[in-house]
Structure 1
Amino acid sequence: TMEGANTSSPPVFILLGFSARPSLESVLFPVVLGFYVVSVLGNGLIILVSCVDVHLHTPMYFFLANLSFLDISFTTSIVPQLLAHLWGPQKTISYAGCVVQFYISHWLGATECVLLAVMSYDRYAAICRPLHYIVIMRPQLCLGLALASWLGGLSTSVVGSTLTLLLPLCGNNRIDHFFCEMPLIMQLACVDTSHNELEMYVASFLFVVLPLGLILVSYGHIARAVANIRSVEGRRKALNTCSSHVAVVTLFYGSIIFMYLQPAKSSSHEQGKFVALFYTVATPTLNPLIYTLRNKDVQKALWHLVSEDCCSFLGKQGQA
């Protein structure tokens, strides 16, 4: 039985990544590293100002801080490993490392879908029910919705990833990607995976299609409410509060839809790697940029934080 276990689960996986184009790897390394550093710093700053600045103790920034924490966790589960593979000839990842990677990436991906739907509900309440907003989005509800996002994502990951983990791989260990993703592990299986695929389609409906539907419904109501606003200034203000969220949703769902609506040809598979690179590396970097560039409150909070630090530093220098 020990031999059977060995053939079913290999000790290591080989992540082919971009190894077919070695010259591309040396170009990608500094680009990916740069994006990763900016992503961690940018999202870290948003978490910091959301906690420190009293003016940002609102539902919108509470959810934004959750999104930023999620983005840091997601990129960190994939990018350091990718950088190691881009830098050196070693392309392996341990069996345990691969398992951890697909459990975490699946969990955080599903959580982000739900969290973006929760954020769109918050924007709906702010624009369509402004007089009742504080009552609707009370702290207990915000905490409950955030917890539901995280636990919902975790539950679908535990079910889907565990079912994938039980598949015998019969020694197949070459993954044509730069990280361990659940559908790719399923492709290595040497048995029928139709049950797993069915579970994946159900999970995709519950955690991708349904949240997207809720986002579209929220924005349908928001569009109607904005159209009814008489003053140009009021309309501009209402649109401003939503524009950042719309941009983030478009980036996130745009890359997912592009990824999964592709035909299974080898050329599109190569394309798929670049789309995956975009949503694992670029999107988490762009989220904080979108929110800081388009948002006066965050800009003000950042400026306040920086000027306060400078003043206290100069004060200490003066005392010395």
Structure 2
Amino acid sequence: MLHHTSLKGLHLQGVWLTIGSFDGVHRGHQAILRKLVTGAHAAGAPAVVLTFFPHPSIVLRGRSGPFYLTSPEERAVLLGQQGVDHVITLRFDKTLASQTARSFVQALYDHLGLRHLCIGHDFALGRGREGDLPFLQNLGKELSYSIHVMRPILHQGQVVSSSRIRSVLMEGNIQLAKALLGRHFQVHGEVVAGDGRGRTIGIPTANLEVWPERLLPKSGVYACLACVDGQTRRAVANIGVRPTFEKQEALPRLEAHLLDYSGDLYGKDLTLRFIARLRDEQRFPNIQALVKQIQADISKAKKILRVK
């Protein structure tokens, strides 16, 4: 997979294309990608995804705070794993948002030799979303490209979408997030120095420096699988402000205790796959009560992770 950040200098021919935000690359996205990749490769054509960063809702609606399920780089990797040949990540800004649908599609035709467009059921592009299905079909007759519209993928009677996944993660519903994503939700970060309190109570933790725009699940304690140095280890992770230690308002942090691990993790890249939610974060009357609960969390996590 080749990852591009501009159409400039890019000249492909006979492309099968899909366009969208693709945050999370969930099961609905995967259905579109299967259709795209299978059709493109059967025709001997490149399968191409055109996506954006920042997300259009951040530019157009002023959305702020942690939001993304995947970073642009992670998203490109996931798209490549689905068989996509080229990923084009365009910077979304007010200038791009004001471009007419016709001029945008014309640019795609000029740079990609667009031959087939695979889109979702509610797709539209261009200024004011003027490039809806009828518009794209009429323009396709002029530019000689065809269109396939995918039906939405449902789970429990509701459409699978990135916004739904964000909602269930903020509720702490890890199992439903997995069902919608088609894989365990995961977070990547670098292990950085913390205050060392975990080590003083015999339960050292790896503090992850996470991309600030990354959405994290609801505060609480989770059974996870930690991937580091090419190995996968069982872990218990905490998301929150550590109320037993912090008496004043603090920013949420993500830290993980890797079971049966005694090495130095500082500076290493670590990925946490969230398997199950164990409990809410809570304040304990003393350190002894906290340690007792953490030991119970570890025992519960071991039972859950034994079969994973």
TM-score (norm 2): 0.22
More helix by share: 1
Higher relative contact order (Cα pairs below 8 Å, separated by 6+ residues): 1
More strand by share: 2
